[in-house]
Amino acid sequence: MDGEFSLKTAAAGVLEHLSDALAGFVPRVLTALTVFILGLLLAKLAARGIRGLFSRLKIDELLERVGFTAVLKKFGLQETPGAVLARMVYYLLVLLFAQSAAQAVGLVAVSDAISSFFTYLPNLVAAFIVLLIGMMLSQFAGGAVTRSAQDSGVEFAPILGRSVSALILFVVAIMAVSQLRIDTRVIYMVVQLLLGGAALALALSFGLGTRDVTRNIVAGFYARKVFSVGEEIEMDGQTGVLVGVTALQTLLERDGRTISVPNHVFIEQSVRQ
């Protein structure tokens, strides 16, 4: 009888404990569901408000004109900037209310993980903004260099523009990585070695192997600024009408024939008009 009584007492204690646990857990679950559903509603309202604001103020059109939309597409974001921002705000608010719901239920690990994400979020946003601005600047600088070089008659203007754009993107990428709290000292060392090697190679190339080519390119740039196509000039003992100045040679036309003269004559000898 004593054993049966103790067994019943133990079972009653377990049932009482379970009932107490359920009595405390159910309200927390209901609270978590309420918080999460409220968060979903607020997130949808916020996203809808952002899209409406961008539409009324025509911010998407303005950002498209300045090239911001094109940069977003390079990241794989095919929507308008307003839609992208609305989607980001929606998911961030959902995560924020999910953290509150996890705290209400007692899921500490989930809550801490979401909290860690929000702690790191400013670094992600900073890196993303640096990349966006950097890509816009690289496009602008590359286009400006290309147009300037084309106006000056440089034949490799597109290559020069792309090189400037790539260089800016490279620097911006390193800046973005540093925003993510990633140690960039090794990257800086490698970059310094590469730039030093490239500078040495260019110095040797221009100083030795391509000295004449470089001299002709510089002289051609000077000639395009001073002389105009259609003028009759005399250079290197040749007289004719200036047809054009290429990267390496000056083309003269006389008696139906085309005469080519190296550009370096412009800076080494007198040229008569």
CATH of the domain at 261: 2.30.30.60
Q: How much is the pLDDT for 232?
A: 78
Considering the domain boundaries, does residue 187 fall inside one? Answer: no
Structural domains in the chain (count):
2
Considering the domain boundaries, does residue 70 fall inside one? Answer: yes
Which of 106, 125, 149 delimits the end of a domain?
106
Considering the domain boundaries, does residue 19 fall inside one? Answer: yes
Helix, strand, or coil here: 269? coil
Compute the half-sphere exposure of residue 241: CA atoms within 13 Å on the CB side of its CA.
8
Domain that holds residue 80: 1-106
CB 117 within 8 A of CB 98: no
Amino acid identity of residue 55, one-letter, is S
Distance CA 162, CA 179 (A): 26
Q: How much is the pLDDT for 270?
A: 65
Which of 67, 88, 106 delimits the end of a domain?
106
Global pTM reads: 0.60
Q: How much is the pLDDT for 12?
A: 53
125 has pLDDT over 80: yes
Task: Give the number of other CB atoms < 10 A from CB of residue 98.
Answer: 19
Considering the domain boundaries, does residue 184 fall inside one? Answer: no
Q: How much is the pLDDT for 224?
A: 75
Considering the domain boundaries, does residue 178 fall inside one? Answer: no
Distance CA 181, CA 120 (A): 9
Considering the domain boundaries, does residue 122 fall inside one? Answer: no
209 has pLDDT over 70: no
Considering the domain boundaries, does residue 48 fall inside one? Answer: yes
Considering the domain boundaries, does residue 144 fall inside one? Answer: no
Helix, strand, or coil here: 249? strand
Which of 106, 138, 172 delimits the end of a domain?
106
Token digits for 270?
Answer: 């007198």
Question: Which tens digits make up the pLDDT trace of 36-76?
Answer: 888 889 989 998 998 888 888 888 888 888 777 887 787 77
If you average pLDDT over every residue of the chain, what do you get?
76
Distance CA 44, CA 237 (A): 80
Residue located via tokens 């040495």 = 200
3 has pLDDT over 70: no
